[in-house]
Amino acid sequence: MSPIADRYRKHADAFEAKVAGTPPDAWERPSPCEGWTARDVVRHIVDMHAVMVRPLGQQLSPAPSVDEDPLSAFKSARGDVERLLNDDEVAATEITSPAGSMTVENHVDRVVSDDMVLHGWDLARATNQDDTMDQDDVDRIWAGTSALPPQLLDQMRTPGAFGPGVVVFGPEVKVPGDAPLQARLLGMIGRDPHWTPPS
């Protein structure tokens, strides 16, 4: 198993556990992503899995919708992406993405794999689960994100810059410099680390 496939599987396992841990009456609760419910967070992750297979001329396998069964929808979508990563030839295929040319496995790693870490926090916060991110992931994502040129960060905060309806990061939330790194990372990507569901 490649390091990328291994990292994807770890992130998918963690996200799946949060989906499975969501109480049936919690799916319509608001999330830290403005305008999104807990169900919408899972919908976004499933949709991003569809984006991973699309450059290969593929679609996600038939499965229950996120409205019908969020857990089954996610399990099916991750299975499709894992099949790509488990095929060495497919994983090494060069595709064109909004961020430029890259291999299928790098596309998965740079987009949906880390997306599950960040949106896992959203889902956990919305549904009162443990929202602690893996420290290695926090360190790695912080290092990569904080090193981005300011103009690229501005572009990532611009709705639609990477496609219709796509918002990569929200406006930065100011967090004290001595706050834990997870809180600073969340602030950088546009989350209030102290957000709680409205009562």
pTM over 0.85: yes
How confident is the prediction along the chain (199 residues), in pLDDT tens digits per residue? 799 999 999 999 999 999 999 999 999 999 999 899 999 999 999 999 999 999 999 999 999 999 999 999 999 999 999 999 999 999 999 998 877 799 999 999 999 999 999 999 999 999 999 999 999 999 999 999 999 888 888 888 888 777 776 778 888 999 999 999 999 999 999 999 999 988 7
Please write down the HEC assignment for all residues of the chain: CCHHHHHHHHHHHHHHHHHHCCCHHHCCCECCCCCCEHHHHHHHHHHHHHHHHHHHCCCCCCCCCCCCCHHHHHHHHHHHHHHHHHCHHHHCCEEEECCEEEEHHHHHHHHHHHHHHHHHHHHHHHCCCCCCCCHHHHHHHHHHHHCCCHHHHHHHCCCCCCCCCCCCCCCCCCCCCCCCHHHHHHHHCCCCCCCCCCC
Residue-range domain boundaries for the chain:
1-114, 132-199
Please state which CATH class domain 1-114 belongs to: mainly alpha
